[in-house]
Amino acid sequence: MRYAEVNPSAPAISEVTARVEDRFCTLRWRWPDGVQAVCIHKETAEGLDRGELPPSGMKLYTREEYKANNGYRDRMEDIGLVVYTVYARINENGETLLIRQPDGSNRITVSAGKARIYFSIQHKKAIFAKQKTVHMTITAEVPVPKDVLCYVKKRGGYPASREDGVLFPFVQDFAAGRNILPPIEIGKEDFVRIFFTDGRKYGQYYELVPE
């Protein structure tokens, strides 16, 4: 199996549309004459395969299946932006060819939504203690790498951003579900808050929600 470039004699996929509902995406497109099957490639926007060889893990989908299901229905288990590419599949001289369309008319980008990360922070201080204890809990809908989050400590009040105080990284990834972190000791006038390490980047994929 290899790629063939689209040309006036090669069939091309067009009018690709997508509808997302209840974590399922339904794709529809216009079938070119003579094409009885396509290969559908799914990838996150960050990992979009632009190599020369056909990407692995594609789904073979026939025209009959399309008619029976009124499109192609796929469960969205990713978060953030997902890219679907539909390749017309033809046979030529006994060889299977996928028609590549450099203009991207056979591709569509869909938002799979954001995963929620719930966080809880409790400051506990004994009456005559010089320090207080901070208890943090992270509850995530999906596994979250440690580099996504950080906590910031500020004296005299809660930090307003990750630049508003002293930033500390987390040392372990967060599993899906409830993660109770080891307590930390801070000064009695210090306060802690959790932030994204890069709000512009990770805000596309996660929503940070206080409990």
**What per-residue confidence (pLDDT) applies to 126?**
78
Whether the Cβ atoms of residue 141 and residue 116 lie closer than 8 Å to each other: yes
Specify the CATH number of the domain 2-111.
Answer: 2.60.40.10
- Residue 7 neighbours by CB under 8 Å, 6+ apart: none
Token code pair at residue 1: 């199996």
Dist CA 120 CA 125 (whole Å): 17
Q: Is the confidence at residue 92, as pLDDT, over 90?
A: no
Model confidence pLDDT, tens digit, residues 151-199: 999 999 999 999 999 999 999 999 999 999 999 999 999 999 999 999 9
Query: pTM of this prediction?
Result: 0.65
Rounded percentage of the chain residues whose pLDDT exceeds 70:
94
The DSSP symbol for 161 reads S
The strand pairing partners of 44, in sequence order, are 82
Question: What average pLDDT does the structure give for the chain?
Answer: 90
Q: Is the confidence at residue 52, as pLDDT, over 60?
A: no
- Among candidates 76, 64, 62, 150, which has minimal Cα distance to 115? 76
Average pLDDT score over residue span 16-35: 93
**What per-residue confidence (pLDDT) applies to 50?**
52
Q: Is the confidence at residue 55, as pLDDT, over 80?
A: no
Q: How far is CA 9 from CA 12, 33, 50, 81, 180, in A?
A: 9, 11, 24, 33, 61
Q: Nearest 5°: phi and psi at 186?
A: -135, 170
Average pLDDT score over residue span 47-67: 77
**What per-residue confidence (pLDDT) applies to 7?**
79
**What per-residue confidence (pLDDT) applies to 142?**
87
Q: Is the confidence at residue 5, as pLDDT, over 90?
A: no
The strand pairing partners of 182, in sequence order, are none
**What per-residue confidence (pLDDT) applies to 46?**
64
Q: Is the confidence at residue 37, as pLDDT, over 90?
A: yes
**What per-residue confidence (pLDDT) applies to 48?**
57
Least confident of 36-40, 126-130, 153-157: 126-130
Domain span(s) for CATH 2.60.40.10 in the chain: 2-111
Dist CA 162 CA 207 (whole Å): 16
Does domain 115-210 fall under CATH 2.60.40? My reply is yes
**What per-residue confidence (pLDDT) applies to 53?**
57
Band of the pLDDT at 8, cuts 50, 70, 90? confident
